[in-house]
Structure 1
Amino acid sequence: MGTSTAKEAHALIASLRSAYSATPTKLKIIDLYVVYAILTAVVQVVYMAIVGSFPFNAFLSGVLSCTGTAVLAVCLRMQVNKENREFKDLPPERAFADFVLCNLVLHLVIMNFLG
């Protein structure tokens, strides 16, 4: 039973890899940005667990900034994706402008939270 599960897992990974290879380059770049933001948040959490969280506001600001940026990037990816019919009338320039404006507001709030 274990070998059939492993074969199914390999087949699933192969099908996901072949489907992702058809993804446009713009979306792959956004995906890399999301992964980078999440990994940065994870590094901050690990650092806090090892060293301590003396300036707790700074820790929260950093993690919330990374997480918020990742969420906004996922929203950008949804809006830029041509296969998503919900945003078919939205030009990519408008989606990017929304992303930049929301990031600006997010980071103004984060800077205010720092004190």
Structure 2
Amino acid sequence: MAPKKSAAAAPSPAVPVQAPATTTTPSTAATTSSSSSVPSKSGNPKSVPAVLQHTIVSVISQYQKKTPQRTKLIDVFLAFLAVVGALQFVYCILAGNYPFNAFLSGFSATVGQFVLTVSLRIQTNEANKSEFPSVSPERSFADYVVGSLILHFFCINFIN
């Protein structure tokens, strides 16, 4: 049997309960109904792969137009170093790393040369001239050569 409600729990007739007044204008009604709806795929004329392809083509064309030849050459060398480092790592996994010093030396030389080349690219980029006002491209390249010689000296000595 359900318990009986007491008089204290019943709403008081002295306090009228009113619903909040809402006014709906045509503009708010249109925005609320359109924001809750899910856009259909048929209404979108461009698909995701087409937009992605357009973006990639745009980035490549801007890179080719605005990047100096010297920077493109540095970028190709960076890509070469990344491929060589990946190949060394894959070889180490597949064939083993018996002369471990040789693997560490070669991989360290590749990674170190990559870091030095990125530093050269940053210092010689025209967009970064404000960050390196006193460093000329010739001095950047001289620092790069000296750093590379020191790096390879240590790597060759590490091989034994």
Q: TM-score, normalised by structure 2?
A: 0.67
Q: Structure 1 residue 52 and structure 2 residue 103: aligned?
A: no
Question: Residue type of the partner of 2:159?
Answer: L
Task: Give CA deviations for 1:56-79 in whole Å, capped at 9, x if unaligned.
Answer: 110111111011101100100111
Identity of aligned residues (%): 39
Equivalent in the alignment of 1:66 = 110
Question: Residue type of the partner of 1:81?
Answer: N
Question: Residue type of the partner of 2:151?
Answer: L
Q: TM-score, normalised by structure 1?
A: 0.91
Aligned residues: 114
Task: Give CA deviations for 1:84-103 in whole Å, capped at 9, x if unaligned.
Answer: 12123311110000000111
Q: Structure 1 residue 76 and structure 2 residue 120: aligned?
A: yes
2: distance between equivalents of 1:56 and 1:73? Answer: 25
Shift of 1:8: 2.4
Q: Are the equivalent residues in 2 in contact too, given 1:44–1:59 (CA < 8 A)?
A: yes
Tell me which of the two structures has the higher relative contact order, counting C-alpha pairs closer than 8 angstroms and 6 or more residues apart: 1
Question: Residue type of the partner of 1:43?
Answer: L
Shift of 1:43: 1.0
2: distance between equivalents of 1:14 and 1:88? Answer: 34
Q: 1:41 aligns with which of 78, 85, 99?
A: 85
1: distance between equivalents of 2:123 and 2:133? Answer: 8
Q: Structure 1 residue 28 and structure 2 residue 51: aligned?
A: no
Q: Structure 1 residue 87 and structure 2 residue 132: aligned?
A: yes
2: distance between equivalents of 1:105 and 1:75? Answer: 15
Moved over 2 A (4+): none
Q: Are the equivalent residues in 2 in contact too, given 1:82–1:88 (CA < 8 A)?
A: no
Unaligned 5+ runs, structure 2: 1-40
Unaligned 5+ runs, structure 1: none
Q: Are the equivalent residues in 2 in contact too, given 1:79–1:92 (CA < 8 A)?
A: yes
Question: Residue type of the partner of 1:97?
Answer: A
Q: Are the equivalent residues in 2 in contact too, given 1:65–1:106 (CA < 8 A)?
A: yes
Cα RMSD, aligned residues only: 1.4
Equivalent in the alignment of 2:48 = 5
Q: Which has the larger radius of gyration?
A: 2
